[in-house]
Amino acid sequence: MRLTTPAIIFLFACSLLSPLQAESELSHEALFAPNTSFPYFEASHFPKNPDSKAFDIEIARFLAEASLLSYVKENAFIETKLANAGFGETRFFAMQGTFAYLAVSDEALVLVFRGTERADKADLLTNAKIIQTPFLDFGTAHQGFVKALDWVGDDIQTTIESLLKEKPRAFWLSGHSLGGALATLYALKKPEQVTAVYTMGAPRVGGIRLAKNIDMRILLYRIVNDNDIIPRLPTPPFYKHGGTIHFITSSLELKVDPPFAQKWESRRKGHADLIERLYKNHWLEGDFRAIPSDYIVDHSPRLYAEALAAVESDTIE
């Protein structure tokens, strides 16, 4: 298979999420490994009666933690954490490297897709299949994402339709990185069932026509952590984002569709802050295990959960 230049860039960015032998504060292990020590849903709670038509910071916080939780390999651990959060049943879907779980309560369904796993060749190959293919009647989408969704999409759809027939309820979707891309494409399959989609550091999923259909058919809130490189891939003009960006600045403010100049200044400050932190806390101590670029650091699913937890509600603009 011949890879295009954007595919090579995208594959390279994802491949940087590979494991290191040692662990430090900003190592791959600390930022990207399955996390069983995070205090899941202790500070975040899924609202009982949220406004489904507006962005909800409490839902965003919950779904960021739910996306981080999806990387844990022990299903029993996931079930326990979700049960403690009020979701009495969890169903799992896994095939050919694609993984998702569905959290079920009387009031809501929450579907979360797992993102790119470190050093997982199947995931890296999925990300590299960058040529677009027709997606339903909505335009064209990333070939690898479409194929990855196909592995589990029918089983998920059958389960959700059965649960909604049993009792109508709200339905949210989420995922980090590749998981966010899969959540977006799944929502387009049955937009009438979907309340909203919240993605964390998701890449572009398709072309201009697909982006227009996303905007017309689903509520998509794309959360982007400052310098995270993955939401800027694959590159235009053949790829375009749909939905509304909610941008976490380097000062931990949440900006809705900020102008380019504001994002640029935040990212410049983020770069400078990371270099200072690396120098003072790592390099002076002889620790060179930390990731030296916040293009990758800011993509950490753990940092998405921590950043949203730290955002003050009155800073959302």
Q: What is the pLDDT of residues 194-222, one digit of tens each?
A: 999 999 999 999 999 999 999 999 999 99
The alpha carbon of 98 is separated from its chain's Cα centroid by a whole number of angstroms, namely 14
- Please report, rounded to a whole number, the percentage of residues in the chain having pLDDT higher than 90: 77
- Number of domains forming the structure of the chain: 1
Looking at residue 48, its pLDDT comes to: 80
Confidence of residue 1 (pLDDT cuts 50, 70, 90): very low
Mean pLDDT over 242-247 rounds to 97
CA distance 62 to 112: 11
Confidence of residue 126 (pLDDT cuts 50, 70, 90): confident
Looking at residue 120, its pLDDT comes to: 63
Express the helix, strand and coil content of the chain in percent, nearest 5 each.
Answer: 45, 15, 40
CA distance 54 to 256: 12
State the average pLDDT for the chain.
90
- Token pair for 245: 């960006």
Confidence of residue 314 (pLDDT cuts 50, 70, 90): low
Looking at residue 21, its pLDDT comes to: 35
Dihedral class, residue 154 (left if φ above 0, else alpha if ψ from -120 to 50, else beta) = alpha
pLDDT for 141 beyond 60: yes
Out of 3-17, 146-160, 181-195, pick the least confident. 3-17
248 DSSP 8-state letter: E
Q: Quote the Cα angle for 41-44-48, to 5°.
A: 105
pLDDT for 14 beyond 70: no
Mean pLDDT over 82-105 rounds to 96
- CATH number, domain with residue 274: 3.40.50.1820
Task: Provide the 10 A C-beta neighbour count for residue 165.
Answer: 8
Q: pLDDT tens for residues 26-65?
A: 999 999 999 999 999 999 989 887 767 789 999 999 999 9
The answer to whether the beta carbons of residues 198 and 135 sit under 8 Å apart is: no
Looking at residue 285, its pLDDT comes to: 85
CA distance 102 to 124: 24
Mean pLDDT over 293-305 rounds to 96
Helix or strand holding residue 256 (H, E): strand 254-256
Host domain of residue 173? 5-315
Looking at residue 20, its pLDDT comes to: 34
Mean pLDDT over 81-97 rounds to 96
- Token pair for 79: 């079930």
Buried b (16+ CB within 10 A) or exposed e, 75-113: eeebbebbeebebeebbebeeebbbbbbbbbeebbbbbb
Edge-to-edge, what's the strand order for the sheet holding 220-225? 89-95, 98-104, 108-113, 170-176, 196-200, 220-225, 244-248, 254-256
Looking at residue 287, its pLDDT comes to: 83
pLDDT for 107 beyond 80: yes
Looking at residue 159, its pLDDT comes to: 98
pLDDT for 316 beyond 90: no
Looking at residue 78, its pLDDT comes to: 98
Looking at residue 245, its pLDDT comes to: 97
Quote the pTM value: 0.90
